[in-house]
Amino acid sequence: MRVFSLIHFAIVLIPTQPRAADLFDHQEIRNPATLDVKVMQDWHEVAGLVPTRQKVINILVHKVIPGKPYRIPVRFIVPQDQKAKGFHLTGGHQLRQFEGDAKISRTDQALIKRGVGRVHTMIQTLNQSDQAELGRALDTKFIETLDPKYSIQYYGWPLTLMKAITAAYAEGDHFEKSKIAMSGGSKNGATPSSVLNVDDRTSAVHGGVSPIWDSPLRLCDEVQWEKLHSYNKNYAASVQASGKASRGRLLEHPFLGGTYGPIYNRRALAAGHSWEELKGLAEAMADNVFISRNLKQLKARGAEFLFQPGTHDFVCFDLIWGGQHHPQIPLYLRANSGHGIKPSHPQSEKGQDNLSAFLYQHFFDGFEGNLLEAPVVNSELIGNKLKVSVKFKAGSKTESGRIWWIYDRGPNGSAAYICELFPEDQWADMKWDESAEAWTVEIPIEASHQTIDFFSNHKKTLKYRGEELQTFLSSPYQRVLLK
């Protein structure tokens, strides 16, 4: 009897993680009766270059913490004289922006003029929506339990966007069910990516400086974490000696290496959780949060996506791994860009219309040309030169090619990865090889280096109803061993 009790005790202590598919109750999410709507501004006409009708409500997202409901504002914007057919959804708004009427960007004016609606909500930390106490309570419970339902990132923010969709569709006199495109950067790039994975009502995402793929660091591979820690210790010592940066900041960065945003690993371990539990949670959530885990089903659904992760971003810190394992995912990389990186490389593009072109092509017919698809990259080291060719799908009609490179860059997720920028003199314009139908260049290799990283950007001008749109797409990020 005693043996049985010990075995039973051990079994109940083994951590279990919910499956990704079990996290969201889609029947409840799509039930407008669960929204507990409070009308802040009822439907009214708003004058402007493109007249609209607007409405602001406040909805219930969830009641995970008893007595502390999570509520959020939602604004609807539709054409003045017709139902909106589909809409553009974003969460990058502040609480004060839900007072009065919304100003509409040039791109959204074009969408509304042609019948596409607009929905605003808030994907922000809870202190920014005057719910700081709830935010602290959720954070405490998440670290205590590692239950993703207490995580604003895994659960609260995606639920916000999905319930905003339900709220819009409940306005049946103003919204017709059709395509839903989402856009934004950072948490507002990550959250729409997750929602595209889990909610088949959505059809497109344009995301900036946000996670894309399931690299080993994100999946809490303990060996990779130890390697990263050792590398960062050495790097921090070297830059501290030179007076360039704080050792503590480099070793305890709040984002570098995190699964899906700020790192919770250290606090979870200190609270008594194990690496196995952390790995289990990351694996359980990976299908929900990473586009890379859903490419087949998204393609089958006809979903579209384009990412602008930044070359030195501390949220999307794994370009090297992504370029090796998911070269088919379309990216635009602006040299020396990311959270807090200013200025960018002097030879980077001075302007681009990727978001406008992406949205117009997604919603409208009659577009002249198509956005570029990810190209194939080949490189060959011949003597002291690296020969690079970038080939797009036949008929892509690219107009230019420019390449950037950097030697001996730090590994994915490292402090060096975000601190060491592409040098100002390490770039070149590429040449079009008519016979190979590819953009080519030869990079002279400097002696003594171990690795070279590179990517190229390519321009294509698109047109919609007379408007010219300058679009750019990058080659997959590459690392080549030189020794």
Q: How far apart are the first and last CA of the chain?
A: 63
Is 382 within the bounds of a domain?
no
pLDDT tops 70 at residue 312: yes
pLDDT for 15: 46
> Could you tell me whether strands 175-185 and 304-308 are parallel, antiparallel, or unpaired per DSSP bridges?
unpaired
Is 354 within the bounds of a domain?
no
User: What angle, rounded to 10 degrees, do the helices at 354-363 and 106-113 form?
Assistant: 10
pLDDT tops 80 at residue 249: no
Is 152 within the bounds of a domain?
yes
Q: Measuring CA to CA, which residue among 253, 291, 223, 182 is closest to residue 418?
A: 253
Cα 315 to Cα 321: distance, rounded to the nearest angstrom? 14
pLDDT tops 50 at residue 10: no
Average pLDDT (83-104) is 97
Average pLDDT (223-243) is 88
Q: What is the domain range of residue 110? A: 30-179
pLDDT tops 80 at residue 460: yes
Is 390 within the bounds of a domain?
no
* pLDDT digit string, tens, across residues 357-393: 999 999 998 888 899 999 999 999 999 999 999 999 9
- 425 and 416 in contact (C-beta within 8 Å)? no
For the chain, give percent helix, strand, coil, nearest 5: 35, 25, 40
* pLDDT digit string, tens, across residues 265-278: 999 999 999 999 99
Q: Measuring CA to CA, which residue among 80, 35, 81 is closest to residue 58?
A: 35
Number of domains in the chain: 1
- 37 and 57 in contact (C-beta within 8 Å)? yes
* pLDDT digit string, tens, across residues 277-291: 999 999 999 999 999
pLDDT tops 80 at residue 20: no
CA 52 to the chain's CA centroid: 30
Cα 379 to Cα 394: distance, rounded to the nearest angstrom? 20
Residue with tokens 């089958």: 300
Is 259 within the bounds of a domain?
no
Average pLDDT (24-34) is 97
pLDDT for 483: 86
Is 45 within the bounds of a domain?
yes
Structure tokens at 91: 């969460």
Is 94 within the bounds of a domain?
yes
Average pLDDT (419-435) is 97
Is 372 within the bounds of a domain?
no
pLDDT for 9: 34
pLDDT for 243: 64
Counting DSSP H helices and E strands in the chain, the numbers are 14, 17
- pTM score: 0.94
Spatial neighbors of 248 by CB under 8 A, at least 6 apart, are none
pLDDT for 98: 98
Other CB atoms within a 10 A radius of the CB of residue 160 amount to 25
Residue with tokens 């993680």: 17
- 321 and 213 in contact (C-beta within 8 Å)? yes
pLDDT for 13: 38
pLDDT for 14: 39
Spatial neighbors of 465 by CB under 8 A, at least 6 apart, are 366
Q: Give the DSSP letter string of 249-299.
A: HHHS-SSTT-SSSS--HHHHHHTT--HHHHHHHHHHHHHHH-GGG-HHHHH
Cα 15 to Cα 272: distance, rounded to the nearest angstrom? 12
Between the alpha carbon of residue 478 and those of residues 108, 361, 388, 413, 457, the distances in Å are 35, 29, 10, 16, 13
